[in-house]
Amino acid sequence: MHHVGHCEEQCVASILENHETTCWGCGLHLLLETYSSIFKCGWCGAITHRNKALRKPDSACFSHWRLVRDRFFVTILLFFILFVICAGVWAVYPIVFSVSYFCGIFHCTLTAILSISTISSFCMAAFRSAGAPTNILWGSYPSVAKGDLENYTFCTYCAKPKPPRAHHCRSCRMCVLDMDHHCPFIGNCVGAANHRFFVAFLISVIISCIYVVLMMLYAGFHTWPPLELRTLGSTGFHTVSGTRLAKEIVAALASSALLLSARGLVLIYLAFACLTVGIGLSVLLCQQLYYIFEGNTYINHINSQNGWRGEKGFQNLLRFFGCPYLVFKVLPGLANAGKSQDTSGSKLL
C-alpha cells in the first residue's frame, strides 16, 4: 500500500507540473509539459502566442488620416501621369509631325500604347483587392477538423485567424495574403492579388519615362535657341582651357534658356521630372524582382525572425509573371538555377 500511494503521489505531481491552456483555433484544452509562450496545437495546427499583447483598434482619427494621406498621394500620381501625357503631346508632337506624317503617327501610336498600359496597370493595382484571406471556421472543436488551421496565427486587429505569410495592414484595416508592403501612391496594399499588376505598373512607368526623356531631348535639340559663345568666337577653341570652355557653355545655356518659349520650358521640366522618377522607380523595381527571385516579400524580409522563405531561383520569376509551363520545360536549367530550400523557414515557432 505504501508503494502504491507513493506512485499515486508521483503521478499527481507530474500532472500538476504540466501547464494547462486552451487553443484559440479549435477550443481544445491542451496540456503542455513545460510553460511556453508560443506553441502549436496538435489537432488543428494553430499557433498560439500567449504573451502577445492585445492591441486596441486604431482610433477614428488615425484611420481617417491614413485614408486622406493615401487619397492625396493617389491624386498627385494620377495628376502627374495625365500631365506628362498631355504636356508631352502638346510640346513634342508638332515637332515630330514636322519631320514626317509617318513619324508622327508612329509616335502617337506608341504614346497611346504606353499611356493605356500605365493607366490600366495602375488602376488594377490601386483599385483591386490586394488579397483578402478566405473565411474559415474556428473556435470550436466539432467544426474545426484536423489540420484546418495549420500554421495559422490569431490577428488581434481583425480578431480572427490569420493565414501563413499574411500580415495585417492598419491602413487597409484587413489582413493581406502575401503582403509585400502598403504603397500610399496607389492607396492600396501590394499583395497576392495585385502584386503582378504593381510590378507591371513599375515596368510601364519606367519605359514611359525613358521614352519621354528621349523625346524631350530630341524636341529640345530642335527648339533650343542657338548658343552664342562670344569669347570663344574671337580666340578659338584651341587656345581656351577646359574650365573656361565649360563656363562659357554653361553661361551660353543660361542666357539662351531665358529666350525659351513655353513649349521649351515644358520640355525641360518633363525631361528632368521623368529622369528622376525613372531612376527612383528603377531602384524599386530591382528590389521587387530581387525579393520575387528570393521567394520572399519585403515585409517578410524586414521581419526575418518570422519570415518564410521558399525556393530561390528564376522559377519564381517565371511563375510570378505567369509564364506557360512550356517555358519551364524548355529552360530547365534556368528555372532551377539558384534553387535552394531554406529549411529554417518551416520552423514557425
CA dihedral 137, 142, 148, 153 (to 10 degrees): 60
Kindly report the backbone phi and psi dihedral angles of residue 169, in degrees, each rounded to the nearest multiple of 5, phi listed first: -105, 120
> Measuring CA to CA, how many Å separate 88 from each of 95, 110, 279, 315?
11, 13, 19, 39
Which candidate, 214, 212, 217, 209, places its Cα nearest to that of 264? 217
Identify the DSSP state of 203: H
DSSP E strand boundaries for 178-327: 181-183, 188-190
Distance CA 22, CA 9 (A): 26
> Measuring CA to CA, how many Å separate 43 from each of 100, 139, 148?
74, 12, 9
Q: What SS3 state is found at 116?
A: helix
The active-site residue out of 183, 189, 209, 274 is: 183
Instruction: Confirm whether 183 is a catalytic residue.
Output: yes
Q: Which residues participate in catalysis according to the annotation? A: 183
